[in-house]
A and B are shown apart, each in its own frame.
Chain A
Amino acid sequence: MQADIFVRRRNGGLLLVGAVAALTVGSIIITQYDVVSGFTSIGKALTWGASNFYPDAKSMQDLPDILRKLWETVLMAVAATTTASVIAVALALAGSRSTRVHPLVSVGVRAFASFFRNFPLVGWAMVLLLTFSQSQLTGYLALLFGSVGYLTRAFMETIDEVGIGPIEALRATGAGYLHIIFQAVLPASLPLMISWLLFMIDTNIRDAVLVGLLTGTGIGFLFDLYYKSFEFHAASVVTIVAALAVIVVEIASTYIRRIIL
Chain B
Amino acid sequence: MQTGSYGPLLELRGITKYYQGKAPSLVDASFTAAEGEFVSIIGRSGAGKSTLLRCINRMIDASSGEVIFDGIDVMRLGPRDLRKVRTKIGMVFQHFNLVNRLTVVENVLHGRLGHKSTLAGVLGRYSQEEKRQAFRLIRMLGLDGQVYQRCDQLSGGQKQRTGIARALIQNPRMVLCDEPIASLDPNAAKIIMDHLRTASNELGITIIVVLQQVDVALKYSDRIIGVSDGRIVFNGPPAELTNERIAEVYGSEYKDLLVGRGEADAG
Residues of A close to B123: CB separation below 8 A: 182
A45 to B99, CA, bound (A): 57
A174 to B88, CA, bound (A): 8
| Count of chain B residues near A, Cβ 8 A | 35
Name the distance in Å between A222's Cβ and chain B's nearest Cβ: 44
Residues of B close to A184: CB separation below 8 A: 99, 110
Residues of A close to B163: CB separation below 8 A: 169
Structural contact, A173 and B97, CB atoms closer than 8 A: no
8 A Cβ contacts from B169-212 to A = 170, 176
Q: A187-B101, A188-B99 are in contact. Are A170 and B110 (CB under 8 A)?
A: yes
In the complex, identify which listed stretch (B25-33, B112-120, B139-147) lies at the interface while the others stay far away: B112-120
Q: A165-B93, A184-B110 are in contact. Are A175 and B101 (CB under 8 A)?
A: no
Do most interface residues of chain A lie in helix, strand or loop, or is the interface mixed? helix
Q: A174-B87, A188-B99 are in contact. Are A169 and B166 (CB under 8 A)?
A: yes
A170 to B59, CA, bound (A): 11
Q: Is A68 close to B, CB under 8 A?
A: no
Residues of A close to B95: CB separation below 8 A: 165
Q: A166-B98, A188-B100, A191-B101 are in contact. Are A171 and B59 (CB under 8 A)?
A: yes
A91 to B123, CA, bound (A): 21
Name the distance in Å between A160's Cβ and chain B's nearest Cβ: 15
B113's partner among A165, A170, A187, A191 (CB-CB below 8 A) is A170
Q: Is A57 close to B, CB under 8 A?
A: no
Structural contact, B121 and A165, CB atoms closer than 8 A: no
Q: Is A183 close to B, CB under 8 A?
A: yes
Interface range on chain A (Cβ under 8 Å from partner): 20 to 34
Structural contact, A183 and B93, CB atoms closer than 8 A: no
Closest to B84 in A: A174
Residues of A close to B124: CB separation below 8 A: 182-183
Structural contact, A183 and B110, CB atoms closer than 8 A: yes
A176 to B110, CA, bound (A): 11
A181 to B110, CA, bound (A): 12
Q: Is A62 close to B, CB under 8 A?
A: no
Structural contact, A166 and B97, CB atoms closer than 8 A: yes
Q: Is A5 close to B, CB under 8 A?
A: no
Closest to A177 in B: B118
Structural contact, B89 and A172, CB atoms closer than 8 A: yes
Closest to A171 in B: B59
Residues of A close to B226: CB separation below 8 A: none
A188 to B93, CA, bound (A): 18
Closest to B116 in A: A179
B64-94 contact mask (Cβ, 8 Å, vs A): 1 or 0: 0000000000000000000111110111010
Q: Is A178 close to B, CB under 8 A?
A: yes
Structural contact, B83 and A176, CB atoms closer than 8 A: yes
Q: Is A231 close to B, CB under 8 A?
A: no
Structural contact, B83 and A174, CB atoms closer than 8 A: yes
Q: Is A56 close to B, CB under 8 A?
A: no
Name the distance in Å between B67's Cβ and chain A's nearest Cβ: 14
Structural contact, B93 and A179, CB atoms closer than 8 A: no
A11 to B131, CA, bound (A): 68
Residues of A close to B85: CB separation below 8 A: 174
A183's partner among B87, B97, B100, B113 (CB-CB below 8 A) is B113
Structural contact, B86 and A168, CB atoms closer than 8 A: no
A66 to B59, CA, bound (A): 60
A178 to B121, CA, bound (A): 8
Name the distance in Å between B86's Cβ and chain A's nearest Cβ: 4
Structural contact, A179 and B118, CB atoms closer than 8 A: yes
Name the distance in Å between A127's Cβ and chain B's nearest Cβ: 38
B97's partner among A168, A175, A181, A187 (CB-CB below 8 A) is A168
A8-40 contact mask (Cβ, 8 Å, vs B): 1 or 0: 000000000000000000000000000000000
A239 to B170, CA, bound (A): 61
A178 to B122, CA, bound (A): 6
Closest 6 A-B residue pairs measured CB to CB? A174-B114, A174-B86, A169-B97, A175-B113, A165-B97, A172-B91
The interface of chain A, by Cβ under 8 A from chain B, is: 165-166, 168-176, 178-179, 181-184, 187-188, 191
Query: What are 6 inter-chain pairs, A to B, with CB distance below 8 A?
Result: A166-B99, A173-B87, A173-B111, A175-B114, A175-B121, A184-B110
